[in-house]
Amino acid sequence: MACGGIRASNARQVLAATGVAHLHAAPLRNVSEPTAGGDVSFGPHHETDPAEVVALLAAVRGS
C-alpha cells in the first residue's frame, strides 16, 4: 500500500512506479469556519472533499 501525498494528480504515477494494488489517500479540504454543533466548536478542521474523491477515483480508473 502506498500512502503519503497521494492526490488525483499523482495517483496513476504512484501505482505505476510502485506496483502496489492499493493506495491510502486523504482527499480532504481545510475548513476554517467552526462547524455548527451547539455549544461545541470544532474550530478549524478538515473534512472529506467530495470533488477530490471523484477526481482521485477517475484518475486511478484511468477515466
What domain range is 50 assigned to?
2-61
In angstroms, the CA 32 to CA 5 distance is 21
Number of domains in the chain: 1
Cβ-in-10-Å burial (0-12, 13-18, 19+) of 50 comes to exposed
pLDDT in tens, 12-53: 999 999 999 999 998 999 887 665 666 666 677 888 999 999
Supply the pTM of this predicted model: 0.72
In angstroms, the CA 12 to CA 26 distance is 16
Q: Are 55 and 63 in contact (CB under 8 A)?
A: no
